[in-house]
């Protein structure tokens, strides 16, 4: 039986038209670990979202631009970047509908942040201006498949059980980050300067948010394959229970 993974997309404008796109590395990460990726077009129609969830077995929230601060009760600061309001609204609704079904979810970078917001948490709009002693998290002119900084994992956590280590080096491409963790989540991985690098649900069977980008690291560093294997296995289990 195929395990269908719904993947969220970016929306961009080119030549006077809107396009919805996904970095191919996200598709490859699902394909190569036993899943079938399906891109979910942006919509605010809740009946359509329910139709999406009727045929997928897991939701993969991909990376992308900044998140609207109004969603977590703040006015935007000067350092806020490009926002796709339609994508934000869609992904919040998608999360809530999927969570109500206890459907497995994986969030990468922005994906972790939107999961935290949808569950009631907050973000740093810009880690360099809103917190002290922040190290570099958004290097310039570098390919994202290489190690950039160290992440410390809490033992007895889901991410520790997946990666089988309490310390790992990851890439990093972000200026926003989880600030206050949503009530139903716990933070389970941190950089040396205290940025939250992983959140996981204490209520849902599999809801994992990761700040780095394992989808562009797993081919060079196979330990990151375990993230996608675990997610797709959880989605397969969900599918069997559903059917």
For the record, the structure tokens of 76 come out as 């935007």
For the record, the structure tokens of 233 come out as 């296995």
For residues 109 and 166, the answer to whether their CB atoms sit within 8 Å is no
Which entry of 91, 197, 200, 215 is annotated as an active-site residue? 215
Catalytic (active site) residue 33:
no
Catalytic (active site) residue 109:
yes
CA dist 76 and 84 (Å) reads 14
DSSP 76: P
3-state helix, strand, coil in the chain (%, to 5): 35, 25, 40
Which entry of 109, 148, 174, 197 is annotated as an active-site residue? 109
**Distance between first and last Cα of the chain:** 11
Which residues have CB under 8 Å from 100's CB, separation 6+? none
CA dist 182 and 116 (Å) reads 6
Q: Are strands 196-201 and 207-210 parallel, antiparallel or unpaired?
A: antiparallel
Which entry of 33, 137, 148, 213 is annotated as an active-site residue? 213
Catalytic (active site) residue 215:
yes
DSSP 72: G
Q: Is the dihedral of CA 160, 161, 162, 168 positive or negative?
A: positive
Give the side-chain half-sphere CA count within 13 A for 225: 9
**In whole angstroms, how far apart are CA 46 and each of 11, 49, 100, 122, 165?**
19, 5, 13, 24, 40
Active site residues: 109, 213, 215
């Amino acid at each position: 039986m195929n395990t269908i993974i719904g993947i969220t997309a970016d929306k961009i404008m080119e030549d006077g038209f809107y396009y919805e796109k996904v970095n191919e590395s996200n598709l490859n990460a699902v394909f190569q670990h036993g899943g079938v990726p399906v891109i979910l077009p942006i919509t605010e129609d809740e009946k359509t979202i329910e139709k999406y969830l009727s045929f997928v077995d897991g939701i993969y929230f991909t990376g992308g631009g900044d998140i609207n601060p109004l969603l977590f009760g703040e006015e935007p600061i000067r350092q806020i970047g490009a926002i796709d309001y339609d994508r934000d609204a869609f992904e919040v609704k998608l999360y809530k509908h999927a969570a109500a079904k206890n459907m497995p979810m994986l969030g990468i970078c922005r994906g972790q942040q939107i999961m935290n917001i949808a569950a009631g948490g907050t973000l740093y709009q810009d880690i360099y201006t809103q917190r002290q002693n922040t190290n570099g998290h958004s290097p310039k002119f570098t390919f994202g498949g290489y190690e950039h900084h160290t992440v410390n994992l809490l033992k007895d956590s889901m991410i520790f059980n997946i990666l089988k280590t309490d310390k790992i080096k990851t890439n990093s491409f972000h200026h926003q980050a989880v600030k206050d963790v949503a009530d139903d989540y716990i933070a389970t991985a941190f950089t040396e300067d205290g940025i939250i690098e992983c959140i996981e649900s204490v209520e849902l069977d599999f809801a994992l948010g990761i700040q780095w980008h394992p989808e562009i690291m797993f081919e060079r560093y196979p330990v990151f394959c375990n993230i996608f294997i675990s997610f797709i296995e959880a989605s397969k289990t969900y599918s069997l229970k559903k059917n």
